[in-house]
Structures are given as structure tokens and as C-alpha cells.
Structure 1
């Protein structure tokens, strides 16, 4: 195979991966579209174009993939409608069997999560009175069950399952072995960072079918966004259910407050973690683009907000408050910016040239980078002057990690906007950086408490 042929095959593979994100198109549909594209490329090459030129022209002639998908959905409306039914008829008996098995597995794991959050009461613990215990262990009640569902669905091997069990066990030890006071900074840091570390363990279960593929990491990023959207929607529905229970039972002289606070709310919140994951897996073909759509909406708003903040800071010449609440706020802001970048990357056509939205994202990343530098300078100054604390040390490390990500992302985006860097380089950078967050989260959970004498 010549270099030109190898490059052309790589372009076909990239195009097919993009097509397969549209789950309303079956594998046979993707084959049909690819055959059509290959035929067009062959005709153009025969007419005298180079292979790479022929590929770009052929893709352009086929029109936008989104348009193709919508047209395909209209022509196959019966199939698309069936995808909205949880366990209804399908075109394939095997697919119907798998759907039912997934439903049974989800119900079992969701029930396990609901039971887990009530299990501590057998040992005399109470959700209202033992807030410190529940804060540190909250992620351990539901995330192992979500990981179990995903590992079962991916048919994970024994080695992967062993790693998952070991990591969750380490998380349980970290949450309970250290003598952390109820008001200690280390308890707060553990409560924040352990869910992050364990969510990335869930990611290991998600990519268990292809651990080495960067595209699977990007798929997990997409899964995370869609899971969050579904979880919020389930939460809103749960709020309506609770309001209904209050109103109807109080109307007949029964107060359901205790039952709701002790059973409905905690068990429902834990079970919804698994249910939301199952919904993303089952319904991804219908609403897989919710997170990217929200990204398109909020990227301009956050860009304006960050630029306004920088202008106000320059005009007032005021410093940045780096107390705990402010540190959490700024770190959340930077994480939101990173999330906006990730979800725009997850939905972007890898073959499309840089456009206005890419320039807008570059402005957003540069603004966040400037704020990160200012926060780092303030934190470093405070640590130099007053010494360090667990909160400041954690914030320093997190901002350095975010600084490295944002700085290199900005460099790659400048190259992308100028037409000198391929989009794939930016995507590879983000997926390759994910383990850094996991390592740092585990460091904060496992090393910080003893390092700072459980302060």
C-alpha cells in the first residue's frame, strides 16, 4: 500500500468513525454511505485528482453529515420511533434480547445502589446526624454499581474487573481510614476529589472493551456530559414526584416528610446514577447531542463573562480573594471552561475547517488561561506569606494542572485557527490528559490527609 493509499484509508476510517456517532444509522447504513463515498472518490481520482483532493471533494458533494442523518431519519422514521421505546419491538431479535438483559441488569444495579445508601443505618449511622461520614462516602454508594453495569455491558475481562474492585476498595479505605474531624479541610477535599477519582474509575469500566483506543476516551467524555444531563432531568422529575407526594398525602392528613427524607430522596438519588447511565447507553441514538448543543449556547456567554471579569479586574486594580469559597469558585469556573472545550471537540466535524466558533473558543480558553495565571500568582503569594494549608495546596496543584491543559490547548487552537494544526491533535491532547486528573485526585485523597496531619 502506498503512502497516498494509506492516508486515504485513514481519512475513510476517520469519516466512518464520525458517521457511527449517529446511532440512528446502522452498520449496514454506514456501509452503504461509505460505498457511495468510495465510488465518488474513485471517479474523481480517475478524472485526474489526487486522492486527498478527491476525498474532500467527494465528502463535500455528499453534503453535511448532519443533513444526511436527518434525511436518513426521515426515510427510516419507523426505526427511529422504535428507538424511543425502552423494550418494544426491534428489527433484530438479538437486539431485543440484549435490550431486555440491559434493563434487568440496570434494575439490579440501581436497586443495589439504593440499598447501599441505606446500609450504614444497620450500623447505627444516620444521614442527618452523620453528615461527615456520608459526605466522604457518598460516591461509594452508587458509582461502583454504575461501573458494574458498564463492565457487564462491555463484557470486561477478569483483569479489568480486578482493577475496578481494587480501586473502589482503595477509595473506601481513603474515605474511612483517616481520622478526619467533621470540620477539617482534608474531609472537604476528600469529599470533592474522591468522586472525581471514582468517576474516572467508572471511565475505565466504560472503555473496558477497548482500553488503548483514544476514541473510547472521547466517547467516555461524551457519556459524562449526557449522563449529567439525564441525571439533572431525572432530578427535576423526582422533584415533581416529591411535591406530588407531599400534596396528596397531606390532603388526607398524613405527613410524608420523614418517608421522603429517609427513603425516597436518598434511594432515588443513588439509583438515578445507574438509571441515567443506562438511559445514555440505550437512547444515545436519539439525544446524543444534548451536551454539545448546550456547549454552543453557553460558550459565547461564558466568553463574554470572563472578558468582562478581566476588564473589571484591570479597571479596579483589585486583587483576587483566595479564601476557600473563592478558590472553589474559580476552580469550578476553569473546569466549566474545560468542559465547554471538551464537548465542543466531541461533536466537531474533524474534517471541517476552522470557523467563527473555533475563534470564539480560543478567546474563551485564553481568558480562562489569564484568570488561572492570576489565581496562581495570588495563591503563591499567600502561601509564601502565610504558609500553606490543605485547601491552598490542593488549589495550587489543580490550577497548575489546568494551566498546563489550557496553555497547550490554546497553542493547538491557535494552530487550528491558522490552518497549521490538525483538529486531531487537539482531540488527542485532551484524551491523553485525562489520566492526569485521575492521578491528582488520588493524590489529594490518599496523600494530603496524612501529609497535613489530618487538618
Structure 2
């Protein structure tokens, strides 16, 4: 290896290390630069002592300590900075951060209020949640996600051209949700209600990565944002449940019935506004929740692996085919999506510099198990379609399982290479972030093409 190759390889390692460090919000840019200077000095000393550049880098990182330990040390030394991340503003000694936090808060309140108002607008035309479920089902995401996208686009200072694309995509979603003559019991209505929120969430992702559309790192950040936003939304929902219980109970104690207000105003307005609030919380307080999801991932990965392996053993032992009726299809697809979610979030939270270990082997077993189940489900769906013909549900499930099959198969191959130390971890990360548009494209196909293709069944 030439000196130039050695230098390029070392700089690539430094770039990976810097990318990981910059994900830690408690470390400011000056802290990152200080740590990198220290790391480079240590590498130079080790190279001068006779180590190769790659060996010197690994030893220097080991000496520097785990990044989580460093983060905790910085938090102890700069406790005032950590506390500033847990309050609404950035702190009086940082006017720029304080002003930005206040502007973000005002923008969030505006967008959350807009979402709450928008879900009540249909009532001006005589529609209600109780009587017009066929309207609110496919349209529900349109009351919340455009406002979240607006907040993110404002925060990222998106260019006018991109804002135009966002508006056009949300308008297309509104047309798809309302233009087709779908009966209340049609399969296409259910498919639209499921897939349109997925398609629109990727539009939110476009707003999220507005500052760097082609960056693989920003796409991975959006995956992380998705998981953390879900965590915050669940926490808000739990708190909202307590609020509803207290509201009903306290008003009943004075003889006032509040169920109508709760069902017609508090719940629908609160749900759509909570989506915007959850997104704002992720943006404002990343350091609070970012350690929760990786812990959940490490907890549930072995549990899901054991469950999938047990299912495969039972399936082999009983020789019973898989039921591919509607409920079973939804269940298996949700199972595969959960497996994919565990994989994605573990990738987004993983230190790319850490060598493969037992958890990576466990994840490989999880992906391979899901891959086998996907193949079995695909075989059953294909046989049913061949024998009885296709329906919108079966066609959608077929396409989704094919898409998941391709992702899981190549992910398993890349993970095998990483576990065997023959492929870099970055290849798996690039594959997952590059595959995101495939999911978005399929969701739009189901929403826009399936209803007329199957005569609005």
C-alpha cells in the first residue's frame, strides 16, 4: 500500500468517526474539533512509534474511549449545557440559540394549531367522525402531515422549488383520497387508508432532508427521526389518555357531561396536533430520547428472533400451510415491517467503527428468519392468486412482500459479509437509505393505480 493510499484510508476513517460524533447533540462543533485534534495527535504519535496508519487509528480511538463515555464526561463537565437542552430555550447566555428556539416553538404552535383547525373544517360541510368514516379514513393523514412538513421545511429553510414539490405531492394525495368512487366496504378504501399515510410520510421525509437531498447520512437521520417521533407520539398519547380520564372524571363530579367535547374536539384535534408536537420535540430535544430507541431495539431483537425461529420450527413440525386471508396478510406484513424497523433503527444507532459482535449475529438470524417467512408467504399468495384470482388486498400484499424480500435478501447478504469481516458496515447503511424511495413509490402506486385497476373494489 502506498503512502497516498494509507493517507486516504486514514482520512476515510476520520470522516466516519466525525460523522458519528456529530450525531451527538451534547457535543458542540468546537468539542468535536477538539476531540478530533486530540485523536489526530494520538494517531501521529502511534505512527511515529511504528504502527500502520489503520492500526494507529484503532488504538487511538480505543484510548480516547467509547463515545458514550465521552458524551457522559462532557455532560458532567458542561452540565449547564445539558440542562439547556432540556428546557424550551437555549439559554440566556446564547442569544442566537435562544432566538432560534423561540422561533421554532412559535412555528410549532402555529402548525399544531393549523392541524387542529383543519380536522374540524369538514364539519362545516356537515361531516362528522362518527358518520363519515369513509371520508376521514383515507384523509386523516392529510390533516396532520402537511403541517409537520411545513414546520420541517420552514426549519430547514427549504428552497421555493422544493416547497412547490411538497405542496404538489400533498395535493396529489388529497386527490387520490377523494376522487375515486370507493364504497364504504371496498378493499381499495382500506388500502388507501393504510398506504396514503406511508406515502405522505415520505413526503415529510423530503422536507426533513431539504437541506441536503442527496445525503445518505440525512436519509439515515430521517429514519432515526421516524423512530424517535413514534416514541414521542406514544408518550404524548399516554399522557393524553390520562388527561382525558381526569377531564371526564372531574367534570362528572360537578354534574357536567364532557364526553361529547372529548370525542368531538379533544381527541381528534389532539391527535393531529400531537404529530406536529412530536416532530418538534425530536428536533428540539434529541439527546433526551435518542438513547431510548437503541435500548428498545436491543431488547426486542432477541425476542423477535426467538419468536420467528419458534414459528418456523412449529411450521415445519406441523406441516401446516400459512393462512393468507386478509387478517393474516396484514399480520405477516406488520411482522416483516417490525423486523425491518428493528434493523433500520439498530443501523441508525450503531457505531460504524465498532467491529461485528454477538448482537450483529443475532440480527443476521432475525433477518434470515424474516426472509424465510417472507418466501413462504409469497409462495402461498402466489398459489392463491393462481387458483382463485387476484384481489386488491392480495395484489398489494404480493407487491409489498416482493419489495421486502429484495430488501431483506440483500440486507442478509451484506450483514453476512460484515459479520465475517469481509464487507464494511457502511455498505449496509447505504443500501437501506438508498432503498427508501422504493417504499414510497410502491405506496403511491397502491394509492393512485390500484383503485381504477381493480374497478374500485
Match of 1:337 among 336, 339, 345: 339
Structure-1 residue corresponding to 2:58: 56
Q: Where do residues 271-420 of structure 1 align in structure 2 (5 Å cutoff)?
A: 271-420=273-422
Name the SS for the 2:410 alignment partner: helix
Structure-2 residue corresponding to 1:141: 143
C-alpha displacement of 1:89? 2.1
Structure-1 residue corresponding to 2:220: 218
Which sections of structure 2, spanning at least 5 residues, go unmatched? none
State the alpha-carbon separation in 2 of the partners of residues 395 and 335 from structure 1.
12
Is 1:172 the counterpart of 2:174 in the alignment?
yes
State the alpha-carbon separation in 2 of the partners of residues 300 and 324 from structure 1.
28
Structure-1 residue corresponding to 2:123: 121
Name the SS for the 2:206 alignment partner: helix
Cα distance per residue 1:140-187 (max 9 Å; x no partner)? 000000000000000000111011001000000000000000000000
State the alpha-carbon separation in 2 of the partners of residues 132 and 315 from structure 1.
43
Structure-2 residue corresponding to 1:95: 97
Name the SS for the 1:252 alignment partner: coil
What's the C-alpha RMSD, in Å, of the aligned pairs? 0.9
State the alpha-carbon separation in 2 of the partners of residues 292 and 439 from structure 1.
28
Q: Where do residues 122-271 of structure 1 align in structure 2 (5 Å cutoff)?
A: 122-271=124-273
Distance 1:423 1:191, change over 3 A: same
Contact residue 174 and residue 445 of structure 1 kept, 8 A: yes
Contact residue 91 and residue 97 of structure 2 kept, 8 A: no
C-alpha displacement of 1:72? 1.2
Q: Where do residues 33-52 of structure 1 align in structure 2 (5 Å cutoff)?
A: 33-52=35-54
Name the SS for the 1:350 alignment partner: coil
Contact residue 90 and residue 101 of structure 2 kept, 8 A: no
C-alpha displacement of 1:11? 1.2
- Of 281-290 and 367-376, deviating more is 281-290
Structure-2 residue corresponding to 1:6: 8
- Of 288-297 and 326-335, deviating more is 288-297
Name the SS for the 2:144 alignment partner: helix
Contact residue 89 and residue 97 of structure 2 kept, 8 A: no
Structure-2 residue corresponding to 1:444: 446
- Of 246-255 and 71-80, deviating more is 71-80
Is 1:80 the counterpart of 2:82 in the alignment?
yes
Is 1:15 the counterpart of 2:30 in the alignment?
no
C-alpha displacement of 1:51? 1.6
State the alpha-carbon separation in 1 of the partners of residues 36 and 104 from structure 2.
31
C-alpha displacement of 1:88? 5.8
Aligned residues: 455
Structure-2 residue corresponding to 1:28: 30
Distance 1:90 1:83, change over 3 A: farther
TM-score if structure 1 supplies the norm length?
0.99
State the alpha-carbon separation in 1 of the partners of residues 121 and 6 from structure 2.
61
Which sections of structure 1, spanning at least 5 residues, go unmatched? none
- Of 145-154 and 80-89, deviating more is 80-89
Is 1:65 the counterpart of 2:67 in the alignment?
yes
State the alpha-carbon separation in 1 of the partners of residues 330 and 347 from structure 2.
25
Name the SS for the 1:2 alignment partner: helix
State the alpha-carbon separation in 1 of the partners of residues 199 and 354 from structure 2.
34
TM-score if structure 2 supplies the norm length?
0.98
- Of 94-103 and 20-29, deviating more is 20-29
C-alpha displacement of 1:92? 1.5
C-alpha displacement of 1:361? 0.4
State the alpha-carbon separation in 1 of the partners of residues 92 and 187 from structure 2.
53
Match of 1:433 among 400, 410, 435: 435
Contact residue 188 and residue 456 of structure 2 kept, 8 A: yes
Contact residue 82 and residue 90 of structure 1 kept, 8 A: no
Contact residue 245 and residue 256 of structure 1 kept, 8 A: yes
Moved over 6 A (4+): none
